Structure 1
């Protein structure tokens, strides 16, 4: 039974990786729920295996102290959040990351662990093939489809312009949200694939060599500066660590390596700059490095306002409009995970996550240094490169918030430090008389956890149905309202459901008072969403309560000062009220915003 349970655990882990990457959460809303349920049952099978042995052996590297502290902070910043539902949904992502890290660590010394490594390679190949298909045949079709879709998934709609711009530039993104996220994934899968090339012989070596070439070509087609930078820096860091610390080579060789690294980066950046209008040599409005620096500056301003206490997990996009500066692009993530965690979890959150990265690197270097098996050392070296590329890319983008990249990333991190067979373990003896009790308790806990996860899932399902009915025409308003009520019953903390329901009641069903109450509830649940206040203000104007409408639109403008539409409405209302001085103030705002956008 022990061998069968190990195989079943691997099947569940591999299934979760395939679902996360090939059915990404930004398109398939059910994907994160299925991932975490699969991993929950994998965890139960591991627990059952330990119970049947009579002695549970838990490797210490499976739950390092920085990761434990980070998880505790994440729980705190879920309940201490400006939007509980948003933070809760990301907490589910984080739980899946931690579970796969724990499980892979526990089972990685077994022979079956190679299937997880092969899964990462297979996903790199499959996503690269799909990316090539996009490049050769599907770009125009995707652009037409995105432009022609009135209601896109909530996780995609803020990025519509970015996606269309990247498609227009001939950049592939495969199943991922943006090309840079695909590049981040390839930054892990390419080193792992290379390890297969170096540890196999004959036709297998050529087969994996072809796989590496395919993925490198796909990385080129992403035209991602951050993807190439993170991978090359990871290779360079590994070489410096291996040659300088482990092999102790002379300094002149290290300087030669540094020169070669700079040359390779310069050549790649020059090649990419020729094919991309937005490049490091372009004007400010088309310069990705400058735009990132501006976004990072805004993030630092958010952190400075409250350095110790953050706003809650994954709430950066709600905070940012209040801090956005004139001429800076609208973003929903900081494009730097470490800084974004500082805004969401305080400086302590950033420090703890960096601590985890440093712990992983120190642990990996020690394992590589102590390993005598040459084949295993090759594997560890290239897994280390993949892990470092993962952490480096976090400083340039936001794939930490996307399971399509980060679930595999945590699996790679776990494979690296879990490869050492001799490791400290916690041993917990389980009395034979209590084994059945533990098994039953674990089984019931897994079922209860799975059922609890289904409540927000079914709420989202009814919400998607409601959107589909609304897209079908005005005759389905009653049906859409019924679906939204079901969504609210299943997930009453989701402000988006209350907001959409309230607006529907007013616009389609003429139930103004009920609609006002629902939008007010949405504001109570998520007080930083500026458009909730604007919509409530418009409803008050519809029911001829101008003073209340004015106050709500002012609140919207305070939360997003650079929104021209809000100032246009305020100007129109003040004009009706005959307040010329306030009209002039709003006109100055409008002129300033327009000048800022034109710079």
Structure 2
């Protein structure tokens, strides 16, 4: 089972890299399920039966089984029949603490506690309640809300976090020999070389595809990724691993190499060939260095400025760590050779485009810094516990700067700012504390080792972590499942290498704990297996729902953005927590209603019957995700259509007004969506008429309409309202007293 699990872990990771970085539901579903199945197989294999009472062993784990009467946790009572083997990791505190934090973001809290932690979450919770119910006298005090205004992205983040943890603990368990470690390293290096050569071939042949998908940018090498920066993230980690592994293969007899002046008198060419040509191990070393050079070339041709700078810093750190160990100082030349190979081929291929992009470095960083500054504004509103992991894309429009009015910002292009916005101070403390604990413990372990293989390969996690940490200042590599999983694999490889008992030994000195399966141990096992099964179940349900009604990234499959109502209903049944499904179902019903009303004989009875189900769907979408201003606007309009109700003026129109007020709160200036402002302007123009000329509220409504119209024009950089809006306004007003304020 262990071997099968190891193959599933590696296969899933490779599959994710090869297919667009695992950003699509159909890809990451298969990858996540591979990790989940592998983990369940490992758990089954790590259930160890206790030895019979008549057998005795000097150690609880002698012969691979716990002795009778021995307890892994020092408990009392009769010896259990089963033990669970648990391999410890220095990242365990971070995993379990952040797991608990994600659960905290999803737990409903009483309003008093919520106001203390996150007042903005309380406001969002209140605004998620149906406007008609609130105006009808429903109490707001009895409701409990979660820290995250929208739970669906946090749930998906929790699933990913569980899968990442399973991959970490599973690889830590499987990488229990030098052969396994080297197998994993070679697989990653082959993957990196293939991705590079594939990308170079596609770019310089003029074909410019990733499998069947035509790329828009023909100059950048991006491998099997859709974004050059995410491909650069793969290259960064691959180069760090290649340098470390090449150095680890260089542990030859030093005495044979140190022959004093006689050796120094040899020609440089002979010494160079000798350095790379001493036995079968050195042939592999040459290939590994060459693989690193190929990935270096891929990094250069990707023209990812952040990736190039981050890799240079990572190589510098690795060089310092080689210098730190006197017996490994000579290994630092591998970095020079690798860089030389990459630069040689880069000069041959042409570096003009890459160098030209560096000339725009300051300009582009200024734009990304504006994004980061606006993201910090989200943090200021949700500073303690964040807005919820994954919720940035749903709240970013409210804080978006007009500089980026042509962009839909789903990532901040600065993982530090986005993490602060989504996780707050609590999340930042957990991350810094957990990673600090890991780095300190791992560095101490590395400093205490003397075996060249362990010392050299143990550097790889430091290089990979630094490269991605620096690149994350201007990009979002760690939001791509394939890159995150590759980073976890390199961390597991480095930690396993540091625990090898010697270069002649095949097994690791793993820190294990045997958990006796009494009631407490069984409860822990049940919780763990239950969490794994929960993650697998919701991964499958999410995939089926997305196959019926897509709400995620679908650019490579050309899925229908506006599916029929029947498909949206099926999606809602499979995944009721996604607010996009009821909204798309409501949109499909509204489109069908409009089609029937445009016929030769309008279906007026169908029009009247349509309002209640559409309102119910829109209220559900708002209840699930109050952060989306579009949902509030559509609901407000739908309330306004209930003119045949006796309480139309006293209940439904005021409810629509409240929806538009909420929409303005969550939209902010939203420069990416000027049509939303036109739509809100149309609503308030209608309300200015229905309120009557004698009502003071009529003037207020007209002022709001004019403000939204002007904001839409400002965002589109136009001086005159579109003709269809002017025609709409003249349905209500023809006097100059109102029209004079319009552009």
Please, what TM-score do these two structures have when normalized by structure 1? Answer: 0.80
2:140 equivalent to 1:64: no
Gaps of 5+ in 1: 147-162, 282-286
Match of 1:560 in 2: 667
Paired residue for 1:428?
A: 515
Aligned-residue offset at 1:501: 0.6
Q: Distance in 2 between matches of 1:436 and 1:24?
A: 40
Question: Is the CA contact 1:24–1:403 (under 8 Å) kept in the aligned structure 2?
Answer: no
Indicate if the aligned counterparts of 1:380 and 1:416 stay in contact, CA closer than 8 A.
yes
My pick for the range that moved more, 388-397 or 307-316, is: 388-397
Could you say which structure has the larger radius of gyration?
2
For 1:498, the equivalent position in structure 2 comes to 582
Local SS of the residue matching 1:428: strand
Match of 2:360 among 276, 279, 286: 279
Contact 1:319–1:528 under 8 Å retained in 2: yes
Equivalent pairs, count:
548
Question: Is 1:489 paired with 2:573?
Answer: yes
Question: 1:521-563 CA deviation, whole Å, 9 max, x = no partner?
Answer: 1111011012222333455577778776665455333322324
* Residue matched to 1:192: 241
Q: What per-residue deviation string (whole Å, max 9, x for no partner) do you get for residues 245-273 of structure 1?
A: x55999xx9xxx9xx9xxx9xx99x9666
Find the counterpart in structure 2 of residue 128 from structure 1.
196
| C-alpha separation in 1, matches of 2:183 and 2:212 | 39
Which residue of 98, 109, 113 corresponds with 2:165? 98
Q: What pairs with 1:68-147 in structure 2 (closer than 5 Å)?
A: 68-79=96-107, 80=146, 81-110=148-177, 111-137=179-205
Partner of 1:589: 711
Equivalent position SS for 1:508: helix
Please say if residues 106 and 418 of structure 1, whose CA atoms lie closer than 8 Å, have aligned partners that are also in contact.
no
- CA RMSD for the aligned pairs? 4.1
Deviations 1:168-224 (A, max 9, x none): 5x2232333421111111110112223444427454344333322321121112211
Structure 2 gaps, min length 5: 49-63, 67-83, 108-145, 250-279, 500-507, 595-609, 644-651, 690-698, 719-743
The equivalent of 1:207 in structure 2 is: 287
Q: Match for residue 368 of structure 2?
A: 292
TM-score, structure 2 as length reference: 0.65
Of 591, 610, 634, which residue of structure 2 is paired with 1:507? 591
Q: CA deviation at 1:16?
A: 1.5
- Aligned to 2:549, what secondary structure does the other structure show? helix
Report the alpha carbon displacement of residue 304 of structure 1 after superposing the two structures with TM. 1.6
Q: Contact between 1:465 and 1:483, CA under 8 Å: does it hold in 2? A: no
Deviation at 1:507, TM superposition (A): 0.5
Q: Which deviations, in whole Å up to 9, do the C-alpha atoms of 1:223-262 show, x marking residues without a partner?
A: 1111112211122233344535x55999xx9xxx9xx9xx
Task: Give the 3 Å change call, closer, same or farther, for CA 371–145 of structure 1 in structure 2.
Answer: closer
Distance 1:87 1:177, change over 3 A: farther
Distance 1:470 1:349, change over 3 A: closer
Q: CA deviation at 1:436?
A: 13
Higher helix share: 1
Higher alpha-carbon deviation: 570-579 or 183-192: 570-579
CA distance in 1, matches of 2:561, 2:510: 62
User: Counterparts of 1:422 and 1:26 in 2: how far apart (Å)?
Assistant: 34
Distance of 1:47 and 1:370 partners within structure 2:
32
In the alignment, which residue of structure 1 is the partner of 2:122? none
Match of residue 28 from structure 2: 32
Alignment of 1:302-317 (within 5 A): 302-317=378-393
How far apart are the structure 1 equivalents of 2:464 and 2:170?
Answer: 19
Looking at structure 2, the residues matched to 298 and 514 of structure 1 have their Cα atoms a distance apart, in angstroms, of 38
Check the 8 A contact 1:128/1:214 in 2, yes or no.
yes
